[in-house]
Structure 1
Amino acid sequence: MHFYRSIHCIKAITFDLDDTLYDNSLIVENAEAQMIKVLQKYDALQHLTLADFHAEKKAMLALDPDIYHDVIVWRIKTIISILTKAKVSPVQIPAITDEAMACFTFWRHKMHVPNATHQLLTQLATKYPLAVITNGNVEIDKIGLNDYFQFSLRGGADGRSKPFPEIFELAAQKLALPADQILHVGDNLSTDVNGAINSGFLACWINIFAKDIYHLADARCLPHIEITQLPELDNLL
């Protein structure tokens, strides 16, 4: 654990999810691949590729730049657009969209949460109120983490996504604490570290690739704490 800034008081901790509490590598890629297989079952989409899906997703973003704040809405609208352009019957579109999203959601939650994460959260929860602030679509009750957290906030549903301040401000309100007494833990220098610092939170960067922060282009400010693996947070106990 490395300290870049002094910390006077921590009274609560918020966590990012993906690549912070578990390894998220290839999870989304596999979920999307399974979703494409579902869509390919339909004659009008039998030649649909993942590249086609991503191209349409990019086109949706160009039409509505704010859509990226809610990854669930973005994905649903992308599927609907693909189905519409493929001239699928409007009557079928809702059912096919629901089927594709159900498949994606099932595989999206097929990650392994390490025992070390469970052990750490169990210990931290005895001393601090814990909460989640995520830009993704993982539901903590589906991955066995619900019992540790007082609440989970998601970009889009609960305000603009990190690094925008609304979602951090809402977390502080729900915790009933000043922002400068809340430590946010995450792996992303832009959304987690910069977002937390600019919102008045304390920031802990989990440097999962052991890179030098002084040589990273997306580093805009220093976190209060840097760790390379989550269990290092037991120093806060």
Structure 2
Amino acid sequence: MRCYLRPQNIHAISFDLDDTLYNNQPYILNAEAELTQFLHRSFPLTAAWQPQDWRRLKLLLLQQMPELAHDTTAARIATLRQGLLQLGYSAAEAERGAAEGLACFYFHRSHFQVSSEVLSLLRHLSQRFRLVGITNGNVDAERIGLGDAFEFVLHPGNGVRMKPAKDMFDLACARLDIRSEQLLHVGDSLNADVRGARLAGCQSVWLNPSFGQLESLPIAALLPHMEIAALGSLSNIL
């Protein structure tokens, strides 16, 4: 554990979800594989496209509609719809395929449970602090077992921008009725979590390494208040 700036006057703690409370990569990879199988079964013309074709289309759509960059769900629907249209399906078929494809991906993306160790830590912390989730992803917090752990979970979209934009931090503080400096945010990303929290006037804890991913601290980076190597350290230092 390293302390760069002494945390103080904490009223609530917000947690990033993906790669902070669990290793997100295997669930995303599985969801992508399940989506591909669904598309090949239900829309056989999609077998002509490789993953890079879908990525290329998504990048093009993000250039044309920058607002999609802050809404992972809307971006996936738009990409599926446009891809099916380009492959020769009708507008009605593309609309149906995009909705069913999203449902398939979303189901498998949230088809796991957060570990009992993490849930126990959150229950322990909730005895002293109000807890919320702030994530750039679209995982179903209820399905993965976090429904009772947080007062609420914030996701980007519908005009709310992704971290490091301060939108979700501001919204969390407003809903908790606290000042920004009274919120401590915990996350694995120096940019999205540490920089986002600091720019919003909140305190921050950087989880490093996170599930085997080690980041060095760039000279020009905004410092977290604390750096920890394991989530369990929170119960000791707070």
Smaller-chain TM-score bracket: over 0.9
Could you list the per-position Cα deviations for residues 33-90 of structure 1 after superposition, in whole angstroms to 9, with x for gaps in the alignment? 2111111122322322222211111111121222110000000000001011112022
Q: In the TM superposition, what are the counterparts of 1:35-50 in structure 2 within 5 Å? A: 35-41=35-41, 42-50=43-51
CA contact (8 A) 1:24 1:111 kept: no
Tell me what 1:26 maps to.
26
CA contact (8 A) 2:82 2:94 kept: no
Identity %: 37
Tell me what 2:196 maps to.
195
Tell me what 1:75 maps to.
76
Tell me what 2:6 maps to.
6
CA separation of 1:153 and 1:182: change in aligned 2, threshold 3 A: same
Q: Does 1:105 align with 2:116?
A: no
Q: How many residues align?
A: 235
CA contact (8 A) 1:153 1:171 kept: yes
Letter of the structure 2 residue corresponding to residue 33 of structure 1? A
CA separation of 1:52 and 1:210: change in aligned 2, threshold 3 A: closer
- Gap regions ≥5 residues in structure 2: none
CA contact (8 A) 1:33 1:50 kept: no
Aligned Cα RMSD in Å? 1.7
Could you list the per-position Cα deviations for residues 2-50 of structure 1 after superposition, in whole angstroms to 9, with x for gaps in the alignment? 2110122111000100010111123212211211111112232232222
C-alpha separation between the residues in 2 aligned to 1:140 and 1:213? 30
Between 204-213 and 29-38, report the one with greater CA deviation. Answer: 204-213
Tell me what 2:160 maps to.
159
CA separation of 1:110 and 1:30: change in aligned 2, threshold 3 A: same
Tell me what 2:223 maps to.
222
Tell me what 1:95 maps to.
96
C-alpha separation between the residues in 1 aligned to 2:232 and 2:40? 42
User: TM-score if structure 2 supplies the norm length?
Assistant: 0.93
The 3-state SS of whatever aligns with 1:94 is: helix
C-alpha separation between the residues in 1 aligned to 2:167 and 2:213? 30
CA contact (8 A) 2:187 2:206 kept: yes
C-alpha separation between the residues in 2 aligned to 1:72 and 1:130? 25
